[in-house]
A and B are shown apart, each in its own frame.
Chain A
Amino acid sequence: MFRNVVSRLVTETFRFDRHVKRAAFRPSLTSARVPVRSLTDAKDEVQPPFDSSLLDFLVCPLSKKPLRYDANTNELINEELGIAYPIIDGIPNMIPQEARLLQKDTDASNPPAQ
């Protein structure tokens, strides 16, 4: 019951837009003593920043061509092959099998070539 009250409070006081990143809700919910799990399952950790000095010598393992850092998706993009390597916890994952194909625009990891 208390959870319903809190959730109604949050939805009435803030415009709940599903496309907003969940992390943004963190500061607004700190006043509630009960974590509102029904709304968000965001993690507390902030992703450490990616060190772009790595881009001086980091290349795509398949084509050995330079990569572009995309800050929005936190990925390293190889435009030529159309693949994106994820960066997790500030550590770039340069295994080809873990890269994402850009053309298909899916989140599932597909091996572009093996």
Chain B
Amino acid sequence: MSRSPGRKQENHKISRELFVLTYGALVAQLCKDYEKDEDVNACLDKMGYSIGIRLIDDFLARSAVKKCRSYSETADVIAQVAFKMYLGVTPSVSCSNTTGNEFSLILDKNPLVDFVEELPAERASLCYCNLLCGVIRGALEMVHLAAEVSFLQDRLKGDAVTEIGITFLRKPEDRKHRRN
């Protein structure tokens, strides 16, 4: 969470605790505002989307990754470069179907839920980190890759691991007549 160094090393690091607390406060306030879990999840996804459409340029400007030539390359870049850069964790990637457009990111450590042990009983279907899904979806859309991103498993709900599923929707050949 530090700014880019540039010429002088300006390391304005903000504390991770503050970020985690801010996210927690955000989710708590949304829970107060909306009764249904689906509404909270949708709101988190929308917020994540508007973050993702801006974050993608920051990511591309700082990481200088080349254009990905396949879905699996894209999933690898998301897991190994993007997650590392922004959250400091590296999920593992696995491809979950034969057509090669569904991938899973398995997070063993998730900094956003450091201080959350489990969801309250009345919020059983809340996707606490749904913001992340929106971020990934928004970022992919800006590089012309439509995708559906959702939580397949969540430790907070009692599953063994936290798993984010990315399903790419459109074939890359369709983009041939767009820019290159």
Chains A and B form a bound pair: no
